[in-house]
Structure 1
Amino acid sequence: MTVGSVSFAAPAAPLTDVMVYAVGSEQYGQYEYLDYDQIRTVEDHGGDPFYIVTADYGYSRQSSRIAKLNGIKLDYIGTEDIDTNGDSIVDVFLHYWDASGQTGGEFTYQATSENAPWNTYSDSIIIR
């Protein structure tokens, strides 16, 4: 629908899932990409830099995103928007978290949808 010179698009897609997508660290030397159902990393991680990447499928509320390593809340670094099917609509949001200086342990992530039905999803992994 167009009103004057403003076009309205469809509402943002609600959050439908989250996952721990990748772990990259000085100790391993590159990113380890994770499978959806993987429960621990294969490689050992730690050092500085040490980044953990989560994937949101749909739009999550920025203030609801919580990433922790061993119960310690991690600093948010930034987001990368991914269009998986070439239709110029963002399908996945990769969020980067800073765990620099730590050596691994239990990583947990949680996010809540920006819009109805305000679903909350979470994922976790053991980082070696």
Structure 2
Amino acid sequence: MSVPYNKLAERSIRLLDLYPGELNSPFRGTLRPSCLDIPEFYEALSYTWGSLETAAFLHCESGSLPLTLNLVQALSRLRRTDTIRTLWIDQICINQDDKIERGQQVSLMGGVYTGASIVDIWLGEEDSETSMAM
């Protein structure tokens, strides 16, 4: 079941309030609108989607959204165990099935990253050569 996305006002985006959880517990959260012209604390995630195969789901109040493996790995590291974390993640916060919205939201991405309090970058899981690169 997919989450019905509410229409966004001009210069608005969706933010994900990712609920706390343990490492392997299901992902739960709330999607809510936010106006880019009103400063708000959130983190933007920069990452690659990788394979489009569904690896897990994000459970929201009105349904569930599929998550790719790369995003599952990133969220597993970003999710806190005790407090909500507010994130902007393109795969979740943009209705990928709505071409018009997708185009409008892509045009706002500069403002999304500029307005973020923190930009998290996910390069993938550690491998045997990670320590040399870092």
Q: TM-score, normalised by structure 2?
A: 0.26
More helix by proportion, 1 or 2? Answer: 2
Larger radius of gyration: 1
Q: TM-score, normalised by structure 1?
A: 0.27
